[in-house]
């Protein structure tokens, strides 16, 4: 399937692309556009103004995606807390990891183009998933 | 002489009731440190981050049954631009002074523990995120909080 989002990916879009590839569409192909009107007809847009898979009622796109795709994995919702704060920084959740994740994603988008940024950030989210999975199992931060 | 910066203007209007989304938008704009130019008209210096934040807020306004348009603008008068920048700097300077005062008070009363200093640090970070024209008070506040933290670590 083809997916479209805004060029210049940051934390929310990187997290969404990772979610799509890992949990719903392993063969996902991403298209990056500067304007909503450039979205190809066969592509599903996300994290753009006025589309379903986007910010809604104070949620970031990653949270919307979890809801729309019906993903109830608690580890993903735990990551959603971090992505929400890294993206929106509105103190809805307690996420001490968020400022660090925000800076890392901003830095990556400065040195990489979108496909390379999503590939590298994808590995970062793989690691974050494993870390938070162990943390939830143990009930404490894994060492 | 015209102003030298590009600004983003958000013009918006929301229904009076329900008040919850209206207040949520108002709080978010406050957190971004916008300059309030009038009723339902706010401004921020243009950059990618401000633009993205304002776009999402514009969407939130629309979702709540309001109207919002986002504009890019330059001021026709350099003097007016300077006045706007000074007013924004003065607003954050007052916030920095409050942090400095809280740090001095903690130091004076001996209330120096990492857990009382950490919130001041966090507050400082929040203020600096909406600080587009850093006033000297920023450095003063940073020094006050860091010396308090140094004291807390020593104890």
Q: What does the pLDDT look like over A63-106, one tens digit per residue?
A: 999 999 999 999 999 999 999 999 998 889 999 999 999 999 99
- Of the residues A8, A47, A49, A84, the best mutation for testing chain B's interface (the one with the most B CB atoms within 10 Å of its CB) is A49
For B28, the closest of A10, A49, A90 (CB atoms) is A90
A122 pLDDT exceeds 90? yes
pLDDT under 50 in chain B at which residues? none
What predicted TM-score, i.e. pTM, was given to this entire model? Answer: 0.81
Are A54 and B24 an interchain contact pair (Cβ–Cβ within 8 Å)?
Answer: no
What phi and psi, each to the nearest 5 degrees, are found at residue A76?
A: -65, -40
Is residue A141 less than 8 Å (CB to CB) from chain B? Answer: no
Are A50 and B31 an interchain contact pair (Cβ–Cβ within 8 Å)?
Answer: no
- Of the residues B32, B55, B56, the best mutation for testing chain A's interface (the one with the most A CB atoms within 10 Å of its CB) is B56
**Alpha-carbon separation of residue B64 from A53, A61, B23, B72 (angstroms):** 18, 18, 11, 24
Are A57 and B63 an interchain contact pair (Cβ–Cβ within 8 Å)?
Answer: yes
Q: What is the pLDDT of residue B151?
A: 83
**Eight-class DSSP state of A59:** B
| A5 SS3 class | strand
Q: Rounded to an integer, what distance in angstroms lies between the CA atom of residue A114 and that of residue A108?
A: 9
Q: Rounded to an integer, what distance in angstroms lies between the CA atom of residue A84 and that of residue A98?
A: 8
Residues A69, A23 contacting (CB under 8 angstroms)? yes
Q: What is the pLDDT of residue B155?
A: 63
Q: What is the pLDDT of residue A129?
A: 98
ipTM for the whole complex: 0.71
Q: What does the pLDDT look like over A1-31, one tens digit per residue?
A: 999 999 999 999 999 999 999 999 999 999 9
Residues facing residue B8 across a β-bridge = B44, B72
Q: What is the pLDDT of residue A100?
A: 95
């Amino acid at each position: 399937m083809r997916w479209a989002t805004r060029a210049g990916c940051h934390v929310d879009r990187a997290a969404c692309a990772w979610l799509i590839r890992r949990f719903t569409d392993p063969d996902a192909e991403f298209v990056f556009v500067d304007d909503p009107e450039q979205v190809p007809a066969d592509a599903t847009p996300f994290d753009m103004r006025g589309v379903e898979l986007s910010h809604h009622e104070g949620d970031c796109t990653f949270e919307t995606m979890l809801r729309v795709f019906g993903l109830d994995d608690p580890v993903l919702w735990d990551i959603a807390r971090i992505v929400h704060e890294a993206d929106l920084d509105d103190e809805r959740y307690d996420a001490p990891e968020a400022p660090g994740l925000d800076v890392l994603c901003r830095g990556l988008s400065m040195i990489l183009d979108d496909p390379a940024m999503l590939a590298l950030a994808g590995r970062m989210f793989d690691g974050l998933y494993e870390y938070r999975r162990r943390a939830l199992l143990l009930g404490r931060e894994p060492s | 002489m015209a102003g030298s910066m590009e600004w983003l203007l958000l013009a918006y209007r929301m229904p009076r009731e329900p008040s919850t989304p209206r207040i949520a938008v108002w709080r978010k704009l406050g957190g971004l440190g916008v300059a309030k130019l009038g009723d339902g008209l706010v401004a921020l210096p243009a950059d990618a981050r401000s633009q993205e934040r304002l776009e999402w807020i514009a969407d939130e306004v629309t979702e709540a049954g309001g109207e919002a348009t986002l504009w890019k603008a330059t001021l026709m008068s350099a003097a007016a631009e300077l006045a706007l920048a000074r007013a924004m700097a003065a607003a954050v300077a007052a916030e920095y002074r409050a942090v400095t005062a809280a740090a001095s008070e903690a130091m004076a009363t001996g209330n120096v523990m990492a857990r009382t200093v950490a919130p001041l640090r966090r507050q400082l970070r929040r203020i600096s995120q909406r600080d587009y024209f850093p006033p000297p008070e920023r450095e003063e506040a940073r020094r006050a909080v860091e010396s308090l933290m140094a004291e807390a670590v020593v104890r």
